[in-house]
Amino acid sequence: MHRPEDLSVTEIPVTDATAGPYGITAGPDGALWLTLAQNGRIARLTLDGEVTEFPLDAPGCQPTVIAPGTDGALWFARTADHRIGRITPDGAVRSFALPTAGCGPYGIAPGPDGAMWFTELNADRVGRVSATGQVTEFEVPVTGGMPSAITIGADSALWFTLNQANAVGRISVRGDVTVHPLPTPAAGPVGITGDDSALWFTEIAAGQIGRLALDGEIKEFSLPDRTAKPHAIVADGAGGCWFTEWGANRIAHISADGEIVEHDLPTPSSEPHGITVGPDGAVWAALETGGVARLGA
């Protein structure tokens, strides 16, 4: 395995700056899939740079976070028109309306039950959508908490950030919710990812990365630049994580013991958002200015 400090960054154009690449994930077809939040499209990017765009039925629907489902499709939140979208690798698109008006779906992740689980920014709820589109919603016992990103943990529960409640939540597949307050006031947690023993999350307002063990113990690691605005995060498979620094134009790595390595992006103010480990083992980040960054050997 290559050391994080030995990797280099390249940028690949995907679309124009008005499209706003936001979420990114690795698909079951060996390609990268992105949401184009500003023009209502989903993009597929092959490892050799071929781009295909798939328009959605509502250009203003604002697709944000995207994740692979257990059914071989990609699922994504449509934050502006309050739907959950589904696209197959060959480009067939469907969407499902959510019961709560104005709920603002955002984070989405596959659950251990074969369904997709998602957060509702505006409604203090976490939702579940089956492969056939049946939706169930569960209330979070925090008013105005803004449930944000969500991921599966090693305990087969779903864990999610509460951006405005300064906490991380856990929900079982039965809908039981536990809330873990953070030590740092007004930390603003956003991204979250799980490894085999803990949850890692970003604190966008505090310039820190947090680690939450399954037993509830929380550790926080300060970034060299506390104004870097860490946003999305993904586990590296070796005990550490990669994350985007939206406010500092960087991709960074944190080891299991808190050592941080940062990589500047070539284009100034490229606004890195979503991040994933690609099918080639490299780290890929969506750049709101119209491209992706690849960090690899």
The tens digit of pLDDT for each residue in 113-128 reads 999 999 999 999 999 9
11 appears as a binding residue in the annotation: no
Residue 241: domain span: 4-296
Determine the pLDDT at residue 226. 96
Q: Is the pLDDT of residue 237 over 80?
A: yes
pLDDT tens, residue by residue, 156-187: 999 999 999 999 999 999 999 999 999 999 99
Average pLDDT score over the chain = 97
82 appears as a binding residue in the annotation: no
Grade residue 41 by pLDDT with cuts at 50, 70 and 90.
very high
Grade residue 42 by pLDDT with cuts at 50, 70 and 90.
very high
Q: Phi/psi of residue 4, each to 5°?
A: -55, -35
> Which CATH number do you get for residue 205?
2.130.10.10
Share of the chain above pLDDT 90, in %: 97
82, 253, 263, 273: the active-site residue: 273
Determine the pLDDT at residue 2. 79
Determine the pLDDT at residue 10. 96
pLDDT tens, residue by residue, 70-109: 999 999 999 999 999 999 999 999 999 999 999 999 999 9
Determine the pLDDT at residue 67. 98
Question: Which pTM does this prediction carry?
Answer: 0.97
Quote the number of domains for the chain: 1
Grade residue 1 by pLDDT with cuts at 50, 70 and 90.
low
| 273 included as an active-site residue | yes
231 appears as a binding residue in the annotation: yes
240-266 mean pLDDT: 97
